[in-house]
Chains A and B, each alone.
Chain A
């Protein structure tokens, strides 16, 4: 692979995601940041199992040649499914927070202890 571009992309995705989670004040942007980190990690897993010029690992009717490693792809699928569940839960909590405070900006939240 040219200049290890996928790995550079992994690092960029995770760092941008972390930046969004730490410095953004909007809850939706924080959620987007988390999904970016997740994409980065998933891309890392997929890249680990890929070799240049390899084909999909389907053993029946294979034309021969090297195949990509299927295990990281299975791991990534699991991780994507978990990610969807987490995303749904986070967004539903954001909806509840918006109903209570009428804003998504963390600086404007607060108010008295109940």
Chain B
């Protein structure tokens, strides 16, 4: 067998392998852990590296416009519900790229960051499980399967949030997180049951083709959006997020950013695909609900960030504010989607929102890694006790400046590219929306400049005299993200044309998604 055939075979089976590789890796990790710690770390990095290369292989094919399906169970599509279907379009591939990059960076970062902890075999097992769950949520085409992967992700991430069990606050945050996720997941299951009772289908494409927009469907829509928005940390359901982000180890926080975005992906999939046919009736109201939620999320996140004194908690509220921009972008797209005069605006808003998902993951992720580095070096997270660190930690300082500029949407960082798209398109919908968005960005800049000033500048404090720069693996992890941020910022067109635009088109073109499973389907554009 030659190489081209092998790559074809890998490509064909990649949707299954992307979930199977980290899942199997997770259960082999404890065994390898008995040999040697270093071997285990290398094994975990290799496992995620293999997953990442499979994701890139699949994505390179999907971004040309193909949709991949992978069938577990009966191949005869005429038989109902005797299979689980993975369906990968450009949006799923886009999200999978984000998740896998975050997990890989987090594992590299953990090498030094978690070195002094015990129970690392469990830590790495849970990280791999969490990655498998996240990727499963993004690739699956089956609603019940989505629920199962959601639960895998929540269980492993709750255990990881509470990983430092010697700290009361960490355990408390973990408990809060599992309670919130479980209730959310149960309501998702409830709405899945409603769909099954009406349409005898669990497959997203089948439900989308049969949906009648009955009263029960409206209830299911409310439950799905509320539960997934709760998992995504949208205000007013955000109260668990600062606790979980703030108290988890920094490497875990990085992956938690990925899980919240996987839930956000669920919101978009529900609005655009499952309710794609009913969107004629609902797009205006559902779109406006997303826009208003986005605005509230932005303002409240930023306002709460200003008054925080804990480094990680402050960044967590910044992350809440960033989620608002994505909702605003996608919501605007949904509102103007049916207005033929504003198609370009709608597409620009969607592109901005989707691009911002990736940018937010990188920017906020980098800031959390810097916060972790400072904690590692000083064992301190309160901003009132930090100061003068730029003298001893020059690389970390540079990375923080990059993250600060990117998160507040300053050129030439990537945050600017996506936020500009959102400002421009929302201005055409309603100028007030873009004014609020710009205002929140400026406030974010103010917040992070304050952090920069109190943590890195100022006189040298005697207790931090012996603080050293963090170890290499943490610098590599932060450097990798910073490099991607600058590249995305300098060449945004490249990313938008090749990755973001296919994703936006895939999300809008729900007919294509459905036709991949039900060829006779005629709806959609």
Find chain A residues with CB under 8 A from B81 CB. Answer: 71
Q: Is the interface on chain A under 10, 10 to 19, 20 to 34, or 35 or more residues?
A: 20 to 34
Is the pair B178, A37 in contact by a Cβ cutoff of 8 Å?
no
Interface string of A9-38 (1 = CB under 8 A from B): 000001000000100000100100010011
Answer yes or no: B168 CB below 8 A from chain A CBs: yes
Find chain A residues with CB under 8 A from B182 CB. Answer: 34, 38, 86, 90
Given that A41-B186, A71-B81, A100-B171 are contacting pairs, would A93 and B162 also be in contact in the complex, using a CB cutoff of 8 Å? yes
Is the pair A45, B183 in contact by a Cβ cutoff of 8 Å?
no
Answer yes or no: A96 CB below 8 A from chain B CBs: yes
Bound CA–CA A100/B148 (angstroms): 32
Find chain A residues with CB under 8 A from B382 CB. Answer: 113
Answer yes or no: B155 CB below 8 A from chain A CBs: yes
Is the pair A48, B196 in contact by a Cβ cutoff of 8 Å?
yes
Bound CA–CA A94/B158 (angstroms): 13
* A43-60 interface with B by 8 A CB criterion: 44-45, 48
Find chain B residues with CB under 8 A from A48 CB. Answer: 193, 196-197
Is the pair B172, A97 in contact by a Cβ cutoff of 8 Å?
yes
Answer yes or no: A6 CB below 8 A from chain B CBs: no
Find chain B residues with CB under 8 A from A113 CB. Answer: 169, 310, 382
Bound CA–CA A70/B174 (angstroms): 36
CB distance from B292 to the nearest CB of A (A): 25
Is the pair B186, A38 in contact by a Cβ cutoff of 8 Å?
yes
Answer yes or no: A1 CB below 8 A from chain B CBs: no
Given that A30-B179, A96-B162 are contacting pairs, would A78 and B169 also be in contact in the complex, using a CB cutoff of 8 Å? no
Is the pair B167, A90 in contact by a Cβ cutoff of 8 Å?
no
CB distance from B149 to the nearest CB of A (A): 11
Is the pair B196, A97 in contact by a Cβ cutoff of 8 Å?
no
Find chain B residues with CB under 8 A from A90 CB. Answer: 175, 178-179, 182
Tell me which of B148, B154, B165, B310 contacts A96 (CB under 8 A). B165
Answer yes or no: B360 CB below 8 A from chain A CBs: no
Is the pair B193, A82 in contact by a Cβ cutoff of 8 Å?
no
Is the pair B190, A41 in contact by a Cβ cutoff of 8 Å?
yes
Interface string of A72-83 (1 = CB under 8 A from B): 100100110010
Answer yes or no: B144 CB below 8 A from chain A CBs: yes
Bound CA–CA A109/B172 (angstroms): 10
Answer yes or no: B151 CB below 8 A from chain A CBs: yes
Residue of A nearest to B173 (CB): A93
Is the pair B175, A21 in contact by a Cβ cutoff of 8 Å?
no
Is the pair A41, B179 in contact by a Cβ cutoff of 8 Å?
no
Interface string of B163-202 (1 = CB under 8 A from A): 0010111011011001100110010011011001100001
Answer yes or no: B206 CB below 8 A from chain A CBs: no
Bound CA–CA A14/B223 (angstroms): 14
Is the pair B179, A21 in contact by a Cβ cutoff of 8 Å?
yes
Is the pair A89, B158 in contact by a Cβ cutoff of 8 Å?
yes
Residue of A nearest to B198 (CB): A48
Answer yes or no: A64 CB below 8 A from chain B CBs: no
Bound CA–CA A91/B179 (angstroms): 11
28 of the cross-chain contacts (CB-CB < 8 Å) are: A27-B175, A30-B179, A34-B186, A38-B182, A38-B186, A41-B189, A45-B189, A48-B197, A71-B81, A71-B196, A78-B148, A82-B148, A82-B151, A85-B151, A86-B178, A86-B182, A89-B155, A89-B159, A89-B178, A90-B178, A90-B179, A93-B158, A93-B171, A93-B174, A97-B172, A101-B168, A113-B310, A114-B168
Measured CB to CB, the residues of A under 8 A from B are 14, 21, 27, 30, 34, 37-38, 41, 44-45, 48, 71-72, 75, 78-79, 82, 85-86, 89-90, 93-94, 96-97, 100-101, 109, 111, 113-114
Using A37-B183, A109-B168, A114-B168 as known contacts, list a sample of 18 further A-B pairs with CB atoms less than 8 Å apart, ordered by residue number in A: A21-B183, A34-B183, A45-B193, A71-B202, A75-B192, A86-B151, A89-B158, A90-B178, A93-B174, A93-B178, A94-B175, A96-B165, A100-B168, A109-B172, A111-B168, A113-B169, A113-B382, A114-B167
Measured CB to CB, the residues of B under 8 A from A are 81, 144, 148, 151, 154-155, 158-159, 162, 165, 167-169, 171-172, 174-175, 178-179, 182-183, 186, 189-190, 192-193, 196-197, 202, 310, 382
